Amino acid sequence: MSAKGSKIASDGKEMILIPAGPFVMGSDEFGPETPQRVVTLESYYIDKYPVTNEEYKRFIDATGHRQPPEWAGVQYPDGEGDHAVHYVSWHDAKAYAAWAGKRLPTEAEWEKAARGTDSRRWPWGNTFDEARALLWESAPTLGLTTVPVTEYASGASPYGVFQMGGHIEDWVEDDYEAYPGSSYRSACYGRGFKVLRGGSFEFTMQYARCAYRRPEKPDSTGIKGFTGHGFRCGSGVD
């Protein structure tokens, strides 16, 4: 399966066209992911790669927006311009997306871009392979943080979207709420939490599944010394 087109957005990032149609969303394994169901979406675009430090710095330079807390002033860590920006809040991600003329993807858009239409477990298929994603199982040392966004090409999704399993978690647009028809109840529902997707290098393979979702407060940037939150943008089709 492959996307039938792509475009270059105003921030210079390549966006992949995800075609309209149904896909299987969620799972019946874990309460927050239930029920597994068919969801139909219109076509849309999503960033091929997470937003990088260099791209985020251009946004900061243009707008005066605050820098991520681990940067030294307005400079990202040396040699990490092509790494995914992290330690950004949901509000920060929204501000970048608006500046770039885009938006955050919805949960459903993110999951379809990661999963395709065959209900696969991870972006690359149904069998876990530690060589395809930066996760706890594959990190050569516990001190490893981020890598260039073009790495782990073999772990790309069916549409060719990179690093949707592991590496850095992605913010999406939605509030953290029960899926339609779910009987699962969470203390986080209805309390203003947003959703993070994809897992990270500090998490195990279960968190890199396409259906995995977790709540976080929109002003959270992550856990200092461990891993921060990142994002990629989406947009409609003109």
What per-residue confidence (pLDDT) applies to 1? 38
Specify the amino acid at residue 71. Answer: W
Q: Domains along the chain?
A: 6-236 (3.90.1580.10)
- As given in the structure block, the two tokens for residue 135 are 């996760």
Query: Span 27-47, mean pLDDT?
Result: 97
Residue of 235, 222, 237, 193 whose CA lies nearest to 98: 235
Q: Please, which residues have CB within 8 angstroms of residue 223's CB and are 6 or more apart in sequence?
A: none
Checking if the pLDDT of 3 tops 50, the result is no
Query: Span 116-139, mean pLDDT?
Result: 89
Checking if the pLDDT of 141 tops 80, the result is no
Q: Which residues of 107-134 are buried (b: 16+ CB within 10 A; e: fewer)?
A: bbbbbbbbbbeebbbbbbeeebeeebbb
- As given in the structure block, the two tokens for residue 115 are 């999963």
Answer for the pair 80, 146: CB distance below 8 angstroms, yes or no.
Answer: yes
Of 30-34, 55-59, 106-110, 197-201, the poorest mean pLDDT is in 197-201
Tens-place pLDDT, residues 69-102: 989 888 999 999 999 999 999 999 999 999 999 9
Tens-place pLDDT, residues 196-209: 999 988 887 889 99
Q: Please, which residues have CB within 8 angstroms of residue 199's CB and are 6 or more apart in sequence?
A: 135, 165, 166, 169, 205, 206, 207, 208, 209, 212
pTM flag (> 0.75): yes
Query: Span 34-52, mean pLDDT?
Result: 98
